[in-house]
């Protein structure tokens, strides 16, 4: 049993659980708790800092409160906490030395890539050392014969594709934050993206890692060969949210860039028609690279922001992306248009130029940012079976109505991964509480129809306390036991993923 820290009060340098919702900071939100900080660590703060200083090169340690501010939260900005210190190692050996030090001194460790987690996966705590991988940003090896790249964990997602693009290759997973997010973070969260309908998510594109365990042991899993020699620890580590170790290098799959690609817009009167069209496309044997869905609210927000030319007189929009050579795309497109026609499509618009194509995607990929300009929002990430999409959409509308809120739905329709954005006013504590409550109801709904709490954003702190809705006690205990095999004392990112109460440590 763990004592839950109730107050948002002062823990040394910690600022507690202050809400900083996008535009209006100041409102305290503290419904999600962190583990209480260890006095044994806080009381030794100065000593710990001086020991870290002795271990690391100049410029690799951040400990002044003012300089720690950028590390107090991630993209789940509703919560923030100051860490004890931040270290920015330059190589695997330094990571190992830090881990070994923290292990010997029982200091919690919070790994951090670019801090773009949407579920609070990188939010620190007052007694934790943040290990930031941003300085480890070297592409170590590009090997086209084996279609693999070996990169340090701090290399950004997009940079891999940029690095190999001129030679006709790319790295497939493309989370919306790909400009900033790191491959280490992607592996930690098993990130997806719009194009994983065809290419899969991070775990399907990861060949190997070098990682440091909590006691400082360096291990390598996988490599340029396929499949594991023993247990699939690589598969277990991917998506483990920084609870099993710190990844310092990754070997990822490169894929030959398709000859061309074409996003096509399909506008429908209703979400039901759009949903039926998605099912029929999938069932027909065509696997587009991506099928993205936006409802009326989302269309309006994104169009106002990006001017992508989305039709405004429709109730639902699909972006279907196909790829291949021109004759192939013409063939596929004519089949998809037929299917859309059978589902009462109102508008069909294929991009004619690369600029138009980019604009169509810009609108979709800026959905979160564009929404943030008009209101505060929280973003859900549940996945549901495809056949349940229309039902879930209507239930979401019901829930949102009941709470008197607004919602914009954008999601990866091809794989049932929903992203309802619940709009609210962060200046109004009641409104904020309602949004959180509505969000929880929506996620439970996703689980109840046979889906899951999170498709690609991760559990972090955000969905941690809903885990018991998806898993039985035995199931959670089994996951926690496996976690303990890597980190018996639960020093790694300890406030995340598993409910704080009833932990089997």
Partner 1 sequence: MISYPENDAQVIEVVRGARAEHRALGIFGAGTRTARDPDDDSASVSSCQIRGIVDYEPAEMVMTVKSGTPVAEVEAALAANRQMMAFEPMDHRGIMATSGEPTIGGVFAANVSGPRRFTAGAARDSLLGIRFVNGQGQVIRAGGRVMKNVTGLDLVKLLAGSQGTLGFITEVTFRVLPVPPAIETIVISGLDDLAATKAMAAAMALSVEVSGAAHLPASVIGRFLNGDLPKGEATVMRLEGLAASVSVRAAKLAETMEAFGPVSRLGAYESCVLWREIRDVHPFADGSKRPLWRVSVAPSVGHQLVAALRLEACIDAFFDWQGGLVWMRMEADPKAELLRRHIRAIGGGHATLVRATDEVRALTPAFEPLPDGVAALSARVKQKLDPAGIFSPGKMG
**273-332 residues near partner 1, rule: CB under 8 A:** 279-280, 282-287, 324-325, 327-328, 331-332
Q: Does 179 bind partner 1 (CB under 8 A)?
A: no
- Residue placing its CB nearer to partner 1 in the complex, 145 or 430: 145
What are the respective helix, strand and coil percentages of the chain, to the nearest 5?
Answer: 35, 20, 40
Smallest distance, Å, CB 393 to partner 1? 16
- Residue placing its CB nearer to partner 1 in the complex, 287 or 312: 287
Q: Does 383 bind partner 1 (CB under 8 A)?
A: yes
**By CB under 8 A, which span of 26-34, 110-118, 145-153, 311-319 interacts with partner 1?**
145-153
Tell me the residue ranges of DSSP E strands in 231-337.
246-253, 255-256, 261-268, 290-295, 316-323
Q: Does 490 bind partner 1 (CB under 8 A)?
A: no
- Residue placing its CB nearer to partner 1 in the complex, 22 or 467: 467
292 DSSP β-pair partners? 319, 412
Q: Does 145 bind partner 1 (CB under 8 A)?
A: yes
Smallest distance, Å, CB 240 to partner 1? 6
Smallest distance, Å, CB 29 to partner 1? 23
Q: Does 461 bind partner 1 (CB under 8 A)?
A: no
Q: Does 142 bind partner 1 (CB under 8 A)?
A: no
- Residue placing its CB nearer to partner 1 in the complex, 201 or 422: 201
- Which residues, at least 6 apart from 417, have a Cβ–Cβ distance to it below 8 Å? 192, 381, 382, 383, 411, 455, 456
Smallest distance, Å, CB 63 to partner 1? 31
Helices (H), 204-310: 233-237, 271-283, 296-306
Q: What tokens does 152 get?
A: 């340090």
Cα(246)–Cα(10) distance, rounded to whole angstroms?
Answer: 29
- Which residues, at least 6 apart from 337, have a Cβ–Cβ distance to it below 8 Å? 345, 348
- Residue placing its CB nearer to partner 1 in the complex, 259 or 398: 259
Q: How many CB atoms lie within 10 A of CB 408?
A: 26
Length of the chain: 505
Q: CA-CA distances (angstroms) from residue 78 to 20, 136, 230?
A: 5, 28, 41
- Which residues, at least 6 apart from 186, have a Cβ–Cβ distance to it below 8 Å? 113, 157, 173, 175, 202
- Given 58, 227, 353, 355, the residue binding partner 1 (CB under 8 A): 227
Q: Does 236 bind partner 1 (CB under 8 A)?
A: yes
Q: Does 451 bind partner 1 (CB under 8 A)?
A: yes
Q: Helices (H) and strands (E) in the chain — how many of each?
A: 17, 20
- Given 60, 178, 186, 454, the residue binding partner 1 (CB under 8 A): 454
Rg (CA), the chain: 23
- Which residues, at least 6 apart from 163, have a Cβ–Cβ distance to it below 8 Å? 139, 142, 149
Smallest distance, Å, CB 278 to partner 1? 10
Q: What tokens does 257 get?
A: 């860039």
Q: Does 146 bind partner 1 (CB under 8 A)?
A: yes
- Given 240, 248, 351, 366, the residue binding partner 1 (CB under 8 A): 240
- Given 14, 442, 463, 492, the residue binding partner 1 (CB under 8 A): 463
- Given 3, 28, 67, 225, the residue binding partner 1 (CB under 8 A): 225
Q: Does 338 bind partner 1 (CB under 8 A)?
A: no
Q: Does 92 bind partner 1 (CB under 8 A)?
A: no
- Given 34, 79, 103, 169, the residue binding partner 1 (CB under 8 A): 169
How many residues bind partner 1, per CB under 8 A? 96
């Amino acid at each position: 049993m763990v004592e839950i820290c109730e107050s948002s009060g002062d823990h040394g340098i910690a600022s507690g659980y202050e809400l900083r919702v996008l535009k209006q900071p100041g409102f305290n939100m503290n419904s999600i708790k962190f583990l209480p900080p260890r006095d044994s660590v806080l009381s030794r703060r100065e000593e710990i800092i001086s020991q870290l200083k002795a271990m690391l090169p100049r410029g690799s340690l951040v400990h002044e409160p003012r300089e720690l501010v950028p590390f107090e939260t991630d993209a789940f900005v509703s919560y923030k906490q100051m860490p004890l210190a931040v270290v920015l190692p330059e190589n695997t050996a330094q990571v190992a030395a830090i881990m070994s030090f923290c292990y010997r001194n029982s200091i919690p460790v919070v790994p951090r890539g670019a801090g773009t987690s949407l579920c609070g996966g990188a939010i620190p705590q007052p007694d934790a050392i943040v290990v930031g991988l941003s300085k480890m940003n070297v592409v170590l090896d590009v090997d086209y014969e084996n279609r693999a790249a070996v990169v340090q964990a701090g290399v950004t997602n997009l940079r891999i594709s940029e690095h190999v693009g001129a030679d006709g290759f790319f790295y497939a997973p493309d989370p919306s934050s790909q400009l900033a997010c790191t491959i280490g973070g992607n592996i930690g969260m098993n990130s997806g993206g719009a194009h994983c309908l065809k290419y899969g998510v991070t775990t399907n594109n990861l060949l190997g890692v070098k990682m440091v365990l909590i006691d400082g042991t360096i291990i390598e899993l996988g490599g340029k060969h396929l499949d594991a020699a023993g247990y699939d620890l690589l598969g277990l580590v991917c998506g483990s949210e920084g609870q099993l170790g710190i990844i310092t290098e990754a070997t990822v799959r490169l894929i030959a860039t398709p000859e061309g690609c074409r996003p096509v817009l399909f506008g429908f009167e209703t979400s039901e028609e759009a949903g039926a069209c998605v099912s029929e496309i999938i069932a027909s044997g065509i696997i587009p690279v991506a099928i993205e869905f936006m409802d009326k609210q989302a269309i309006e927000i994104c169009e106002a922001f990006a001017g992508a030319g989305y039709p405004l007189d429709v109730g639902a929009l699909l972006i279907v992306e196909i790829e291949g050579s021109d004759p192939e795309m013409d063939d596929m497109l004519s089949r998809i248009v037929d299917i859309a026609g059978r589902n009462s499509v109102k508008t069909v618009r294929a991009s004619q130029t690369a600029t138009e194509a980019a604009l169509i995607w810009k609108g979709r990929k800026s959905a979160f940012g564009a929404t943030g300009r008009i209101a505060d929002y929280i973003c859900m990430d549940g996945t549901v079976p495809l056949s349940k999409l229309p039902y879930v959409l209507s239930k979401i509308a019901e829930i949102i109505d009941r709470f008197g809120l607004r919602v914009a739905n954008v999601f990866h329709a091809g794989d049932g991964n929903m992203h309802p954005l619940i709009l609210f006013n962060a200046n109004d504590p009641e409104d904020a509480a309602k949004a959180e409550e509505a969000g929880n109801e929506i996620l439970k709904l996703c689980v109840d129809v046979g889906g899951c709490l999170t498709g690609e954003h991760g559990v972090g702190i955000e969905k941690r306390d809903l885990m018991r809705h998806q898993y039985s006690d035995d199931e959670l205990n089994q996951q926690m036991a496996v976690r303990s095999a890597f980190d018996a004392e639960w020093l790694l990112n300890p406030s995340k993923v598993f409910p704080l109460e009833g932990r089997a440590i």
